[in-house]
């Protein structure tokens, strides 16, 4: 949910997973979310299509596909332009995240009409909820990229609480399929981070919501594609080597 999470979303097409019981279905009905993400430095806009169904999230951005398979506990990334793909276990991503745990910043939640703001010492997150799309807590964390193997800090906890829907539900296709859903989808998320007198801003805007399935041709590893080491796997290997030298 913090600034580095949005940057990672642009680079890795939303690699996000959630800790949950094996029996839980995150997305009982197909959910297709189109996002427009603007990075904090270059201000380049990237369009990302997320296809959520069952216990799998597929994110497609340009010629790059990321498949998060909760049953297998893996993230598969396919780079069609480079003719490469990688498969990363959840544990490898979690290990890298444990090196730098989220800092505590005393986050506070305020409301301005429909807009929710979570503010820390040098960072603020403003979210406009979409109550027409209702999610379970685990599904919200999966979409937001704040759950295992990623690390959701105090800001994620505070924001999730603010997105909880307590009023009576209005029946929708998604809600009818999963009546226990009670968190609003973040429709627009603006993250501002202050560093050395400079303010960096990222935007993540949901431009469309539907129920389409992902294009099958973008889910299959192309013939002849080369298996490569993901960044998380490479970082984990370096950490293992450092640990070996210290012993």
Q: What is the pLDDT of residues 21-48, one digit of tens each?
A: 446 799 999 999 999 999 887 788 999 9
Residue-level pLDDT at 243: 63
pLDDT score, position 10: 34
For the chain, the 3-state helix, strand and coil shares in percent, each to the nearest 5, are 25, 40, 35
Does a structural domain hold residue 136?
Answer: yes
Count up the domains in the chain and report the number: 1
For residue 12, tell me if it sits in a domain. yes
pLDDT at 151 over 80: no
Residue 212 has pLDDT above 70, yes or no: yes
Output phi, psi for 187, to 5 deg. -80, -45
Mind listing the pLDDT tens digit for each residue in 63-81? 999 999 988 999 999 999 9
124, pLDDT greater than 80: yes
**Residue 38 contacts residue 51 (beta carbons within 8 Å):** no
Residue 244 lies in a domain: no
Q: Which residues contact 142 (CB under 8 A, 6 or more apart)?
A: 16, 17, 18, 26, 52, 57, 68
Peptide bond into 210 cis (omega under 30): no
User: Of 150, 143, 130, nearest to 58 (Cα)?
Assistant: 143
**Is residue 78, in this structure, part of any structural domain at all?**
yes
Domain that holds residue 93: 3-236
| Whether the predicted pLDDT of 213 surpasses 60 | yes
Written as one string, the DSSP assignment of 103-126 is PP---EEEEETTEEEEE-SSEEEE
In a domain, 241, yes or no: no
In a domain, 242, yes or no: no
Q: What value does the mean pLDDT of the chain take?
A: 82
pLDDT exceeds cutoff 90 at 9: no
114 found inside a domain: yes
CATH of the domain at 166: 2.50.20.10
Q: Considering only residues 62 and 3, tell me which one the structure prediction assigns the higher pLDDT.
A: 62
Instruction: Report the Cα–Cα distance between both ends of the chain, in Å, rounded.
Output: 35
Residue 246 within a domain: no
């Amino acid at each position: 949910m913090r600034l580095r999470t949005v940057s990672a979303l642009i680079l890795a097409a939303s690699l996000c997973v959630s800790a949950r019981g094996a029996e839980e279905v995150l997305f009982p009905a197909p959910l297709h979310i189109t996002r427009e993400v603007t990075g904090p430095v270059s201000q380049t806009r990237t369009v990302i299509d997320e296809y959520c169904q069952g216990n799998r999230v597929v994110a497609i951005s340009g010629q790059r596909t990321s498949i998060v398979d909760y049953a297998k506990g893996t993230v598969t990334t396919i780079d069609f332009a480079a003719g490469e793909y990688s498969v990363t276990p959840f544990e490898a991503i979690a290990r890298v995240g444990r090196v730098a745990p989220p800092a505590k910043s005393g986050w506070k939640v305020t409301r301005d009409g429909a807009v929710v703001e979570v503010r820390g010492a040098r960072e603020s997150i403003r979210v406009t909820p979409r109550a027409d799309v209702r999610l379970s807590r685990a599904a919200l964390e999966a979409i937001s990229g704040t759950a295992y193997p990623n690390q959701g800090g105090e800001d994620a906890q505070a924001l999730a609480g603010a997105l909880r829907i307590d009023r009576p539900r209005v029946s929708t296709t998604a809600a009818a399929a999963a009546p226990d859903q009670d968190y609003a989808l973040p429709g627009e998320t603006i993250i501002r981070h202050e560093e050395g007198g400079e303010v960096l801003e990222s935007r993540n805007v949901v431009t469309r919501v539907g129920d389409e399935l992902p294009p099958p041709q973008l889910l299959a590893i192309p013939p002849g594609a080369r298996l490569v080491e993901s960044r998380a796997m490479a970082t984990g290997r370096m950490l293992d080597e450092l640990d070996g030298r210290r012993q």
